[in-house]
Amino acid sequence: MTGTAETGGFFGSSPNVNTGETPSSDIQQIQKFKQDTTNAETTITRGQYELLNPMDSYTQSLQNLPNAFVVSSGDSMDGDDVYINGFSKSLINFTLDGVPLNDNDSYTYYTNEFIPSVLIAGTKYYPGAQSAAIPGLASFGGSVDTYSLKPSPYYFARPIVGGGSFGKYNYGGLINTGLLFKNSIPTSAWLYVNTNQRDGYFQNNGAIQNQFLFKSVSQIGPGALTLFFSQNNQRFNYYNGATAAQIAQFGNDYNSYTSDPFLPNGKPNTNYTGYNYNRYLNWLAYGKYEGQLGRVKFSEQFYYYYGNGYGASATTSAQTLLTPAGTVQRISPATNQVLLRNSINNTHRWGNIAKLLFPLGPVDTEMGFWFNHNNTIHDSQYLNQANVYLGSSYNEPVVTDTYEPYIVFNYRPIAPLKITAGVKYLYAQRDFQDLVAIAQNKPGVFNANFHAVLPSVGVNYRILQGLNVFANFTQNANPPGYNQFYTGIYNPSLQPQKAYSYDVGTVWNLGPWKGELDFFRVDFRNYILSTTIQVGSANQTVLANAGKAINQGISWNNNYVFNDKLSAYLNVGFLDARLKSLGQPLPYAPHNTESLGLIYKDGGFRGSIGFNQIGNAYYNLGGRFLPLGSRFYSNASLRYTWNNMPLSAGGFGLKKVSLGVTVNNLFDRTWIQSYTGSASNPNLKLNLPANVYATLDASF
């Protein structure tokens, strides 16, 4: 049989979901599976996001994945720590509408910055590096690709308000313009404005977050131009909270950092933390033009990110500072005063993603190029109590340029068999300056280059209608973080971390039962560890490619649709994740996870309840491991929607009114845990206790 060209769009194309709508299949299923995939792929549906508390980070949707651990550290509104298959979020590649989001210097990712759950069309999750066509770095634990809703061709305005436990509330709204300029440049757009606020369960742990997002899509010639902008402006406080015994004794307003700047005798209180808060402003904008000319599809996407934030604190100790005069001096606070500290992180990041998809005989070929420029200044500034700048304890500009071309071939030698093979080339150049060291005539200018060739190959075979098997092998790498330049001695031979990802599995669509079973293994090599070496007669710390890790296990996802009203899901995971070089378990890597849920819909009513079990895991305390006992909790949601409600007889009417309630962390008794970290920080916050949130929105 002769081969045929693969049809379809670019790898990881977005779900086709508009504002104001949710496909019925998304309501019945929180997850979907691609039948002819050559790698494990799970789509988290729009319906799943409608079950979330809208003030939570969208990453709460990941907690139902097998082998996933989502930690809110007190409140998801501040962002979540995400662990999948034993990898932390700095080792997971996050994208929004194809734009890589991880910081290119340290691979840090703040999950609350970019998009709220109410504006998400769906998320595609790929465990492991999987495909050469996915741009971005740090995908050892997989890639989490999230897509924003498309504007609807119909006009509506939707005020949104809500409130719930611990002083949380929000107010804002969404406006969809409908189709404009029909006879010239057909355009639809949406605009979202919202404010989130909370008092905090822990005293003075309040936060306020202002969100502004815009998206438009215009048909121009053979393609569509998409413009997107998001702004997040947030301030939140960090405190340790309290144990259950302290709350019982002192009440809900107590926390272990309650203190005054001065002691009763007038001397400074060295435990003073009244300036302990974070403030962060970030923007993300992109312009994307994609379309088709004949059988050739193209996409050109330019993006820009700006982030400016700082953490604030205070100290009574003298500091060594680079002063505005360019000299390094030892500076102490004035009598009975403190030095204020602003730890600033200022980032400018821009890049471009270009793609082409075209047939070459029986082979469907996708090729592309990703470029990213990252310019960040890390500046620890000290001020007196009159807010006069005194100097910086460190001031470190770092610039990283990343280049990543790729090519992927899709081929069907026979109808049931699909073969995908590709390769991408990673090249990164980093320049670093330590201005405090330079001012002291010490070495302070460093640069490093990194490169790697990363192949990927996968196959999918249809055994029978509705049952496919797949297998995949991919190499992945990312350069060291910028801390390679200031941790002990600079190691010029430090190489990128590398991993070899393998998985085999099966996907089925057997009428009411759909699912995916995946067996995976990630051999993590060149793991960067802090290593002690001898230099002369002294021991020094150096970062080195000294580690190996194994992350392997089973991932089993299931959906079952009983009828048009009732459906269920069941996800199970088993995980073995350990750092082989040190014989240690990886943090937040549970041995097993289970999630089970029911979804019911009847007319305007929709309800869901889910149960999650997380097996034993560990928390890393600087080389010591705190055992985290198994965790069991339940989340539930109720929503009722009234359609076409008239405000007055024969007059203007509401298109839709929806009232929803979510209840989270029922039955959870491990939301806070004591440990011996330090006397001033004795508690580990895992999540909030049981909490409730109600929302009301109306579409005009």
Ordered DSSP codes for 364-411: EEEEEEEEEEEEEEEEEEEE-TT--EEEEEEEEEEEEEEEEEEEEEEE
**Ramachandran region of residue 24, left (φ > 0), alpha (ψ -120 to 50) or beta?**
alpha
Judge whether 127 and 518 are in contact, CB under 8 Å: yes
Nearest to 139 by CA among 626, 570, 524, 617: 524
The rounded distance, in Å, linking the Cα atoms of 644 and 130 is 46
Rounded CA gap, 411 and 258, in Å? 64
For residue 245, is it within any domain?
Answer: yes
The number of CA neighbours under 13 Å toward the Cβ of 491 is 25
- Phi/psi at 61 (5° precision): -65, -15
> CA 575, CA 552: separation in Å to the nearest integer?
6
What total number of domains does the chain contain? 1
CA dihedral angle for residue 254, residue 260, residue 264, residue 268, rounded to 10 degrees: 140
Contact 63, 117 (CB under 8 A): no
- The SS3 call for residue 27 is helix
Alpha-carbon distance values, 317 to 314, 326, 336, 390 (Å): 9, 22, 12, 14
- Choose among 293, 325, 163: nearest CA to 222: 293
CA 217 to chain centre: 25
Task: Please report, as a single letter, which amino acid is at residue 666.
Answer: L
Look at residues 582, 467, 479, 492 and name the one whose alpha carbon lies nearest to residue 36: 467
Which two tokens mark 243? 């144990």
Give the whole-angstrom CA distance, residue 667 versus residue 468: 39
Residue 383, beta-bridge partner list: 340, 389
Domain residue limits at 153:
24-699
Q: Residue 215 falls within a domain, yes or no?
A: yes
Q: Give dist(CA 267, CA 333) in Å, integer.
A: 12
User: Is residue 11, in this structure, part of any structural domain at all?
Assistant: no
Cα–Cα distance for residue pair 448/429, rounded to 1 Å: 6
Q: What is the DSSP-derived secondary structure letter of residue 489?
A: B
Is residue 9 one of the residues assigned to a domain? no
* 665: nearest Cα among 9, 29, 74, 32: 74
* Residue 53: both structure tokens together: 């508390």
Return the structure tokens found at 570. 């069941």
Per-residue model confidence (pLDDT) at position 136: 84
Q: Which of 226, 192, 40, 70 is nearest to 120 (CA)?
A: 192
In which element (H, E) is residue 428 found? strand 417-433
550 occurs within a structural domain: yes
Q: How many beta carbons lie within 10 A of that of residue 562, not counting itself? A: 12
| 64/68 Cα distance (integer angstroms) | 7
Burial 285-302 (b: 16+ CB within 10 A, else e): bbebbbbeeeeebbbbbb
Is residue 43 assigned to a domain?
yes
Look at residue 1 and tell me if it is in a domain: no
From residue 321, give the alpha-carbon distance in Å to each of 12, 393, 438, 465, 488: 48, 5, 13, 70, 20
N-term to C-term CA, the chain = 56
Three-state SS for 126? Answer: strand
Q: Which amino acid appears at position 534 of this protein?
A: Q
The answer to whether residue 226 is domain-embedded is yes
Instruction: Outline where DSSP puts E strands in 615-671.
Output: 617-621, 624-628, 631-646, 653-666
Please name which of 656, 32, 99, 650 lies closest in space to residue 351, comparing C-alpha atoms. Answer: 99
Closest of 187, 65, 181, 170 to residue 118, by C-alpha:
170
Instruction: Report CA-CA distances (Å) from 637 to 48, 76, 617.
Output: 11, 17, 28
> Which CATH number covers residue 209?
2.40.170.20
| Distance, CA of 589 to CA of 575 (rounded, Å) | 7
Say which residues have a Cβ less than 8 Å from residue 205's Cβ, sequence separation at least 6: 74, 75, 236, 237, 238, 239, 241, 255
DSSP-assigned beta bridge partners for residue 212 = 193, 231
Cα 478 to the center of its chain, rounded Å:
17
Segment (H or E) for 602: strand 592-602
Query: Of 533, 664, 696, 483, which is closest to residue 63 (Cα–Cα)?
Result: 664
* Residue carrying structure tokens 């005009």: 700
What's the rounded Cα separation, in Å, for the pair 368 and 408?
9
In the Cβ-directed half-sphere of 112, how many Cα atoms lie within 13 Å? 25
Helix (H, G, I), strand (E, B) or coil at 151: coil
Strand partners, 631: 614
**Which DSSP string do the residues of 129-148 spell out, in sequence order?**
S--TT---S--TT-EEEEEE
Q: How high is the mean pLDDT in each 10-residue block of the chain (700 residues)? A: 46 87 90 91 94 90 94 80 90 93 87 91 86 82 93 93 92 95 94 91 75 96 96 77 62 56 66 64 95 94 92 83 94 85 90 94 92 94 90 94 95 94 94 92 90 94 96 90 74 85 94 95 84 67 79 96 96 92 83 96 94 89 74 94 60 75 88 58 71 92
